Structure 1
Amino acid sequence: MFSGRSSPAVLGSRQISRHRLLAYTVQNRTETKKDSTAYLRMGSGSSSSLAAESHVVIIGGGFGGTHVAKKLKGKNKFTLIDGKECLQHNISALRGAVQPGFASASFIPYSDLVGDNFKRGTVTAIDQSAKTVTLEDSSTINYTTLVIATGTRAPFPGQVPANSDKSDAVSMYDKIIEEIKSSKKIVIIGGGAVGVELAGEIATDYKDKEVTLIHPRDVLVDADIIQKAQKLMKDQLTKLGVNLVLGERVSNLSELPREHTAEMFKVLTDKGTEIEADLVLFCTGAKVNSSAYENSLADKMNERGQLKVTEFLQVEGCEDIYAIGDCNDVKETKMAYRAEQQADLLVSNLVNEANGKAKKPYKPKGVMMVVSLGRNGGIFQFGTSVFGPFMTKKIKSGDLFVKKFYKDWGLKMQKT
């Protein structure tokens, strides 16, 4: 179904075409393609390069940072810095926690993406006057333009630790698969996107597991998800067999084991609810990753650790320093798609500025959110329009954008 009550059969053919076109637009990012192509034309239209002496340094190799690199690849000098050796395609991370072999495909080496333009390391300081960044080994890298795209840090299984090697990361997912298989009663703490999608993945693949999701609020995932979508999401989770404990907070968090146990234990809430479990999965505590700039740009941060930026995504008061994605304070739902849109505009503006053309402001977009619940379920909210499993599967739930990522980068995806 497209929504909670309407099926394709009751929609006119023109409406069906519109909705299918919308899904295609979301999946293929065509919304930004036309604009970025136009922005990147300069002079006679034969070049899209910055000045020869330019060097764009990108801190953070998530979706936003790698998208900047993709736009510059083969045209301009750039360096992408990240503490991991691979990009983690974390949109698909939670399927890697239930499907054997899937996690390996969701870790793509930066060397495959950007070759010698990758520098593995952790940035500890930014010197605006010298235009350098300092790494933990005290080495420095000069920049003409700095792009900060450090994203958000979240606990496993949503993300792996900041300095992980691929082999260690994949082993972590192999281990959690075995723990889930061995468990009978699983409690997931946290009803944000990670907790909800993890519950959907487990309940879809393991019908014999008793899955309970505990969340301190009645609203799941994000406050921007409207009531109609909330109901549709909760109904699907309940149909999958997930027990929802909402409006309650876990009170014995520090006492709970961090891995599967042979003996059952109790998870307690502040409302007196007791839930028996042999595995608890922690899906709380996501924070803006500000470690690269929290000392150097402390006065440019808001209370959440995000960098304050202008309409052109430039860090306020900082020449040639920009921030995109989760680590900036643009008021819109934070998601990979939006980070890539910001990356498109940023690179286009850099080219325009280098060629004496006017920059264009970034205009925050309305709500567009796709929450997958296993391979066949989920909700898709576009503004105030809500669609159900049929549309969600076409857009995201089927393969969680992994195949598209490999295709967009011209890489061959390994079999899972």
Structure 2
Amino acid sequence: MASSSSTKNIVIIGAGFAGLATFNALSPKLAPKKYDDTNLILITSRPFFTHLPATLRMLVTAEGKLEEQVLMPFPEKPKGKGEIITGTVVRIQPASSSGDEANPTTVGGLVVLEDGKEIPYSILVLATGTTWSGMLNFANSKEEITQHANEWREKFSEAKSIVLAGGGAVGVELAGEIKDYWPDKSVTIVNGQNLLFTDVYPDKWRKAVADQLKQINVELVLEDHIDNAEIHDGQVETRKGKKISTDLVVPTWGGKANTQLVADSFGAETLTKQGLVEVEKTLQVRNHPRVFAVGDIISWSEQKQAAKCGAHATTVATNILSLVDEKVAATEYKGSMEAILVSLGKNRGSAFLNTLWGVVLGSWFVKAVKSKGLMIEMMRGQYGLGKW
């Protein structure tokens, strides 16, 4: 079905929050008979969805066997139209190099998988997400991820003193998870700015999170960096020369937009200097009207968060249906409210909602919404996912 020349394929590359949300938004709308000649195909390098916000706790402790919950199998059959293919995309051939541009069923181009399989597309959605290094660099099989988690659990268990290099969401939440499970371990966060997180959020909230960390005896070293994570004589040295006693140094800075495939396929001019995909307000890739981009990879003035992906998906799904109906893609993405929920273990946390005058909420709110259950059941229901 996927490679039939008599059909128009809508292909989504990447099954993270943005890609899966786009697939789910399109699936029921393409079910009516008038779309019989249109296929919906989601390509994923893993045969399961990875609920990344819950992986930090999974890496710290085996308690609860979170790998059984965080890695969520895709449904065997979507609610509407669509199929999910497991494979790694190695090349995208735009129409100019892949076929007959006059033929509307192949006008988009071709997606080539690692195993050599070729999938033509009429419309393409890029949802390649973020690449992570070190602790958050997960493999593509459940067995390998479980082994990776066990290795990190052992590292955290054996270390008496831990230094986290980076004071964004990853570093702060990891500190909270470690302290929640091992309150007597020494944990230090080294952060380059004078406050945690980014200045997108107000200072009062950033200070409130710092106060919560201090309450659980997390030490903060601000306006400094760790350039070399090597430990010498039981110490790691910061850029300013401060020596911190430690058994384990964990880089906890942010990830990088996974856009090398985009640059290789559509040209480096498709990306900004920061490596993000240039998009129109319709989320069409600039100069490529039949190619859309969603999620962490787009150049948009907003924080990269899973919570933004639903709005991206709705915008793109509406515009794709317009193209399928031979109309103009005119729906514009209006942006999303900035909000952040930070867990500090199962019972603590802080939230900021950029609404009204800016709302700061404490542990009671974050515990109820995120900290206790890590939004696992909510994700399963929202995305229609299963469990092992």
TM-score interval for Structure 1 and Structure 2 normalised by the shorter chain: 0.7 to 0.9
Distance in 1 of aligned mates of 2:329 and 2:227? 55
Match of 2:255 among 258, 265, 286: 286
Matches within 5 A, 1:315-334: 315-334=285-304
Aligned length: 354
- Tell me the SS of whatever aligns to 2:128: coil
Distance in 1 of aligned mates of 2:253 and 2:385? 33
The gaps in structure 2 that reach 5 residues or longer are 1-5, 32-37, 99-108
Percent sequence identity over aligned pairs: 30
The residue type equivalent to 1:120 in the other structure is G
Query: Cα 1:97–1:267, aligned 2, differ >3 Å: closer, same or farther?
Result: same
Query: Cα 1:252–1:117, aligned 2, differ >3 Å: closer, same or farther?
Result: closer
1:410: Cα distance to partner?
Answer: 4.1
Give the aligned partner of residue 245 of structure 1: 221
Matches within 5 A, 1:209-248: 209-248=185-224
- Tell me the SS of whatever aligns to 2:261: coil
Give the aligned partner of residue 125 of structure 2: 147
RMSD after superposition: 2.2
Give the aligned partner of residue 346 of structure 1: 316
The residue type equivalent to 1:122 in the other structure is V
Q: Comparing both chains, which one has the higher relative contact order based on Cα–Cα distances under 8 Å and sequence gaps of 6 or more?
A: 1
Q: Which moved more, 1:194-203 or 1:135-144?
A: 135-144
Q: Contact (CA 8 Å) 2:74, 2:385: kept in 1 or not? A: no
Give the aligned partner of residue 237 of structure 2: 268
- Tell me the SS of whatever aligns to 2:284: coil
- Tell me the SS of whatever aligns to 2:153: helix
1:137: Cα distance to partner?
Answer: 3.6
The residue type equivalent to 2:23 in the other structure is A
Cα deviations across residues 21-66 of structure 1 (Å, max 9, x unaligned)? xxxxxxxxxxxxxxxxxxxxxxxxxxxxxxx943111111110001
Distance in 2 of aligned mates of 1:317 and 1:346? 16
* TM-score using structure 1 length: 0.79
Distance in 1 of aligned mates of 2:227 and 2:26? 49
Q: Contact (CA 8 Å) 1:232, 1:388: kept in 2 or not? A: no
Match of 1:197 among 169, 173, 176: 173
Q: Contact (CA 8 Å) 1:111, 1:118: kept in 2 or not? A: no
- Tell me the SS of whatever aligns to 1:292: helix
Distance in 1 of aligned mates of 2:334 and 2:381? 28
Q: Which moved more, 1:320-329 or 1:134-143?
A: 134-143
The gaps in structure 1 that reach 5 residues or longer are 1-51, 258-263
Distance in 2 of aligned mates of 1:294 and 1:362? 23
Match of 1:365 among 336, 342, 360: 336
Give the aligned partner of residue 81 of structure 1: 43
- Tell me the SS of whatever aligns to 1:55: strand
Q: Which moved more, 1:150-159 or 1:170-179?
A: 150-159
Q: Contact (CA 8 Å) 1:59, 1:123: kept in 2 or not? A: no
1:149: Cα distance to partner?
Answer: 0.6
- Tell me the SS of whatever aligns to 2:119: strand
| Residue 112 (structure 2) pairs with residue 134 (structure 1) | yes
* TM-score using structure 2 length: 0.85
| Residue 162 (structure 2) pairs with residue 181 (structure 1) | no
1:299: Cα distance to partner?
Answer: 1.3
Distance in 1 of aligned mates of 2:110 and 2:168? 37
Match of 1:307 among 253, 277, 292: 277
Cα deviations across residues 75-111 of structure 1 (Å, max 9, x unaligned)? 3622222222322110111011123111231112346
